[in-house]
Structure 1
Amino acid sequence: MSWYSKIYVAVREYRAKHRNGGWILTRCLNILLLTQLFFLWMTLYFYINVTVGYYVQSPVQATIYLIICSFLFVMSMWSLAKTLFTRVGRVPERYRPSKELEDRLKAVTPFENNRYVVEKSTAEQLKQQNIILEEMCTFCKVVVAECDQVGRLKYCYECGHLKPDRTRHCSSCGKCSIKYDHHCPWINMCVTHANYKYFLLYVIYTSLLVYWYLLTSLEGAVRYFIIQKWKEDLWKILYYLFSFVAGGVFGYYPLGELLIFHYQLIALNETTVEQTKPAVLRFDNAADYNMGKWNNFRSVFGWGLWMWPIESNEQDGLHFDIRYVNTQQRNRFVRVEEEQSSTPPSCESSTS
């Protein structure tokens, strides 16, 4: 569990006992988000009034600077708004089994320290659990390709439902999210299938905004020494000094690091959690979701409107193409989910 997950868990536990104080603490979790917004708006204000409005001499140059900066700022704020106000992708109700099946599963799962500990299950218990989980899939009329490290279908004991492929339980939120990437303390919410594109666009446009500000504001710092209004413009150069240090650090980490890291993830079609704990797919332990860089890029940004924070995803966050490596096993798995169908889903004689 990460450091911020421990904070979220502690706040949830405190709020359960102290409603008013817990509500205040919950709002305080937005401190990193509010800090970002404050510095971004301050940067825009200073850039317009000092760099463009005072130090830049050419009206044409000032106009170009202002247009580019405004575009990057608007796109950054638009992407952030879409990230924050897009509902986090949660597991649909159809993945929730009957109470009888849930009770049967819990009865054959070790329970310690107020939680179910699958890792301590015996071989016989694991066998019984998998039988019950297969019954759950039939009951819910769903088919999943992922399993855990011991070959057992994935089920969340806390949320009480089967886990669709690439779904993870967020320890910070206490809920499962479909195609879960990570819980980001910088925006105080989960990054999942629903808002991953918007989150990446926010990182990209904010990075470009910071780099553009640093590059073009160098002229203002140089002109301070040319104009030589040492006392009158002292506060300007001090702010430049502060913003160059803060922008340089922030532009490198977390923004620069995030850009490189998520580019690597997209190239492999992995999520943040899958890089540390790779998905295990039934019938072929070497299989993965990597369908080639272009297809991986399209699975995140969609088709056409990739640079705009507009819904363009072609996937539902529950089903994903799989690249099977074992050619003898690749035809054993088929995903069929028809809510209106009277027959249970099949798991054989086709290709996923």
Structure 2
Amino acid sequence: MGEAEQSFSSITISKACANIEADLSNHLPPWKESSLSQKVHISILYFLICLPVIVLLSVVIGGYIIYVTLYIYYLIADGDDTPEIYYWHSDTEKENARIRGIIFLVIQTWSLFWFLISHGRAMFTDPGQIPDSRQWEVPSDGNSESSEDQKRLAERSKKGYSRSCNHCKKKKPDRTHHCRQCNRCNLKMDHHCNWIANCVGFFNYKYFFVMVFYGSVLLGLFIATFWECVVVILHDSDSSTELCLFVVLSYSLISLLGIAVIGFCFFHIWQMRNNYTTIEFCEKKRKDVPGYNKSPFDRGGWYENFKEALGDKPWMWLFPTNYRTPDGGLYFK
């Protein structure tokens, strides 16, 4: 994920999903007006859109099950089927292993719970869109500028006017961008994420970040501890070739995913610290667009910037709770 997710998605998954959603919006009738064959076609297209979500949840939940059944169980249980290499030299070693297993189980279960809650909220929360009010309509003369815009909007078009969207035919608030896959403008759009089948924007960015954070904890602890299970199974004479291959492949694949997700998490922490979105970083700061060597929306320090992204209560930053007001996302300090 992160820049890796951006480049991968834009080349493969994003293009595929964009084509699928174009078929749904332009070439197929609404569900109630569809024939049986068209409904089958629509169902298949929606399944393909949801496929990355299914893959992500399968990997995370499957990894948790593998971790508990092949590693935690043998640390905690007193069964006779424990591999010989797991036999402890003393009761103290065995008790320490049991305590360690319980701690790991609590951390993984806690992280999985909040990961799933955050994923669901990020997926089903509207990222925010431009209101249909007259204030955001583009006048018929094409001049979208007003005194209110001059006072409160910082971003400008190349001609120096407040921005407008040629697709939505509306004036664009600061940090708003048009998503080709969603076929609409999203407030404070960060990027379109196929892993949640939704855009990441003003109203669901916190849920998305909390999801990434707990995903990093899940995968990071897996990488840091499951290697012991790999060593045990490879040295156990009772382990089958199939089991050895399964464990090695699982650890290798989840480790690669974990490295990417943890890097993505640190990337978003850096972005929040500097009050950037992914689009602003990729399209403006990285390309040295004038005025973006520092975010124009920087609120004067990392703490204030974190409050902008995650809320005013630091003790609630890592919980998927809502703190946005319904009329937010249109103007920024």
Per mean C-alpha deviation after superposition, the further-off stretch among 296-305 and 220-229 is: 220-229
Q: Contact between 2:75 and 2:101, CA under 8 Å: does it hold in 1?
A: no
Q: Contact between 2:186 and 2:201, CA under 8 Å: does it hold in 1?
A: yes
SS in 2 for 1:93: coil
Q: Contact between 1:95 and 1:161, CA under 8 Å: does it hold in 2?
A: no
More helix by share: 2
For 2:296, the equivalent position in structure 1 comes to: 288
SS in 1 for 2:185: strand
Q: Is structure 2 residue 172 aligned with structure 1 residue 163? A: yes
Q: Contact between 1:95 and 1:142, CA under 8 Å: does it hold in 2?
A: no
Q: Contact between 1:5 and 1:171, CA under 8 Å: does it hold in 2?
A: no
Amino acid at match of 2:318: M
For 1:302, the equivalent position in structure 2 comes to: 311
Q: Contact between 1:78 and 1:309, CA under 8 Å: does it hold in 2?
A: yes
Written as runs of structure 1 = structure 2, the 5 A alignment for 1:132-281 is 132-134=143-145, 143-225=152-234, 227-231=236-240, 234-253=241-260, 255-278=261-284
Distance in 2 of aligned mates of 1:46 and 1:8: 31
| Cα separation, partners in 2 of 1:46 and 1:81, compared to 1, 3 Å | same
For 1:40, the equivalent position in structure 2 comes to: 60
Deviation at 1:239, TM superposition (A): 2.4
For 2:27, the equivalent position in structure 1 comes to: 17
For 1:319, the equivalent position in structure 2 comes to: 331
Distance in 1 of aligned mates of 2:18 and 2:60: 30
Distance in 1 of aligned mates of 2:296 and 2:236: 61
Distance in 2 of aligned mates of 1:97 and 1:86: 23
Written as runs of structure 1 = structure 2, the 5 A alignment for 1:12-161 is 12-15=21-24, 16-19=26-29, 20=38, 21-54=41-74, 58-94=97-133, 102-105=139-142, 132-134=143-145, 143-161=152-170
SS in 1 for 2:178: strand
Structure 1 unaligned runs (5+)? 106-131, 322-352
Distance in 1 of aligned mates of 2:98 and 2:223: 20
Amino acid at match of 1:82: R
Distance in 1 of aligned mates of 2:291 and 2:70: 58
Distance in 2 of aligned mates of 1:14 and 1:71: 40
Distance in 2 of aligned mates of 1:220 and 1:70: 19
Written as runs of structure 1 = structure 2, the 5 A alignment for 1:325-344 is none
| Cα separation, partners in 2 of 1:95 and 1:103, compared to 1, 3 Å | closer
Amino acid at match of 2:258: G
For 1:325, the equivalent position in structure 2 comes to: none
Distance in 1 of aligned mates of 2:158 and 2:263: 30
Q: Contact between 2:67 and 2:222, CA under 8 Å: does it hold in 1?
A: yes
Distance in 1 of aligned mates of 2:170 and 2:298: 27
* Cα RMSD for the two superposed structures: 2.8
SS in 1 for 2:144: helix
Distance in 1 of aligned mates of 2:328 and 2:111: 29
Structure 2 unaligned runs (5+)? 1-8, 30-37, 77-93
Amino acid at match of 2:121: K
TM-score, normalising length: structure 2: 0.76
Distance in 1 of aligned mates of 2:17 and 2:242: 39
Amino acid at match of 1:81: G
Deviation at 1:5, TM superposition (A): 4.3
Distance in 2 of aligned mates of 1:226 and 1:23: 48
| Cα separation, partners in 2 of 1:171 and 1:225, compared to 1, 3 Å | closer
Deviation at 1:22, TM superposition (A): 4.0
SS in 2 for 1:176: strand
TM-score, normalising length: structure 1: 0.72
